[in-house]
A = this chain, B = another copy of it.
Amino acid sequence: MSRIAAFGEVMMRLETPGFSTLSQSNRLEYSFSGSGVNVLSALSRFGHETYLASTLPDNPLGDAALANLRKLGIQTGFVNRGGRYIGMYFLEHGFGLRPSKVTYSDRLGSSFNTVPHAAGDWERIADSVDAVHFCGITLAMNELARTQIKQLARAVKSRGGKVIFDCNYRPSLWGADGYALAKPHYREMLELADIAFMNEKDALLTLGMASSAADPHSQLLELIPQVAKEYGIGTIAGTHRHVNGDNTHTLSGYLHAEEGFWFSRPSTFSVYDRVGAGDAYASGIIHACLRGDDAQYAVDYATAAAVLAHTVHGDTPIATEADIVKAMTRTAGDVER
């Protein structure tokens, strides 16, 4: 098994119970997540040693976040303490036609986005791990976050570790002219990446590539090999999701490596909690790639991990390898006792 770090913000998720809005309710449940947290938690369940690099305030909210990271199986020795706030978001669960709503608190003022890591931290982290995970959400934050992402990526790369980058472009974070602002940073990260998560939309919009094809699948087949070649990325993977009218989603995964494309069969399923499913997919690909599984197994495993993540409360995947292997073959069954 491998030693894997992630660099990213820890967010406090505060959600109203059931399907009530913030105006209707007076209660919240909270948990701690983040793209890096979610990926590491899943990898920890798969047997890897995982380390989060992040910054949390030195107050009871930071303490609670740390305790919950440990609960998820993540080692917290590289978590910096300082600054004043933990990033927060409030979640109101939608139902049917009524969409879920996310309301952020002050994200740019958070400890993660204002307090730099100490000199030498990147080197110590890079010395301790085989791979490191980054996410486009962090890249969208501010100059400090972007600088630190790149410092850590280079430190790991220079020691022979693998750089994993999940494009995860969020339009609301980059604002107007977002694609133009984002493009140089995404290019820089893809140059460093050994494993990248994206699909044809990232190629078209963020990287500004052009396609002669009209439908997403054809665009994917055309553009992803070009990205792999241009940036020298060994493994590129991602998903296509379709939201159906009846509270089900349909998901299919793909993986591109030097030899070609592999696809999982589309899976249609009821959705309990959609957040974090992309991170579950990423964790499945990373696990299979680091272990050297064959590509078809990797994409099937990752897709099953993603599907299971929709059946779990909270952002963070909790499936074990055994759970996922069962789900790769199983259809819905009777209670097990």
| A 89-126 contacts with B by CB, 8 A | 89-90, 92, 94-103, 105-106, 109
Q: Which of B21, B97, B335 contacts A330 (CB 8 A)?
A: B97
Write the nearest CB–CB distance from A138 to chain B, whole angstroms: 15
A3 within 8 A of B: no
Contact A19 B334 (CB under 8 A): no
Question: A307 near B: Cβ within 8 Å?
Answer: yes
User: Are A336 and B100 neighbours in the complex by a CB distance under 8 Å?
Assistant: yes
The answer for the CA separation of A264 and B237 in the assembled complex, in Å, is 44
CB–CB A275/B70 < 8 A:
no
A selection of 23 A-B contacts at a CB cut-off of 8 Å is A19-B311, A21-B60, A23-B64, A26-B26, A27-B30, A28-B28, A28-B30, A60-B90, A60-B103, A67-B73, A68-B71, A71-B71, A96-B272, A96-B332, A97-B307, A98-B308, A98-B311, A100-B336, A105-B105, A106-B109, A244-B332, A246-B270, A247-B270
Contact partner of A335 (CB less than 8 A), chosen from B97, B274, B333, is: B274
Q: Given A103-B61, A334-B274, A336-B101, are A314 and B24 also a contact pair (CB < 8 Å)?
A: yes
Query: Given A243-B332, A332-B243, A102–B27 Cβ distance below 8 Å?
Result: no
Residues in B with CB closer than 8 Å to A20 are 313
Residues of B within 8 Å of A244, CB to CB, are: 332
How many angstroms between the C-alpha atoms of A72 and B88 in the bound complex?
23
Give the docked Cα–Cα distance between A22 and B243 (Å).
Answer: 30
A67 to B28, CA, bound (A): 17
Chain A contributes a number of interface residues (CB within 8 A of B) equal to 76
User: By the criterion CB–CB under 8 Å, are A64 and B97 in contact?
Assistant: no
Chain B residues in 8 Å Cβ range of A333: 99, 243
Indicate if A292 sits at the interface (CB-CB under 8 A): no
Please report A residues at the B interface, Cβ cutoff 8 Å: 14, 18-24, 26-31, 59-61, 63-64, 67-68, 70-73, 84-85, 88-90, 92, 94-103, 105-106, 109, 170, 172, 241, 243-247, 269-270, 272, 274-275, 307-308, 310-314, 318-319, 323, 327, 330-337
Q: Which 10 A-B pairs have the closest CB atoms?
A: A71-B71, A102-B337, A98-B311, A22-B64, A95-B311, A106-B106, A28-B28, A23-B64, A70-B70, A96-B270
Give the distance in Å from the alpha carbon of A274 to the alpha carbon of B19 in the complex.
Answer: 14
Contact B270 A95 (CB under 8 A): yes
Decide: A97 and B327 in contact? CB cutoff 8 A: yes
State which of B109, B334, B335 has its C-beta within 8 Å of the C-beta of A109.
B109
Q: A105, A308, A310, A311: which has the most chain B beta carbons within 10 Å?
A: A105
Do B59 and A103 have beta carbons less than 8 Å apart? yes
| Cα of A313 to Cα of B18 in the assembled complex, Å | 9
* Complex CA–CA separation, A96 to B323 (angstroms): 13
Chain B residues lying within 8 Å of A247, measured Cβ to Cβ, are: 270, 332
A51 and B103 CA atoms in complex are apart in Å by 27
Task: Select which of B26, B29, B99 is within 8 A of A336 by beta carbon.
Answer: B99
Q: Are B269 and A97 in contact (CB under 8 A)?
A: yes
- How far does the alpha carbon of A63 sit from the alpha carbon of B97 in the complex, in Å? 21
Closest Cβ neighbor of A68 among chain B residues? B71
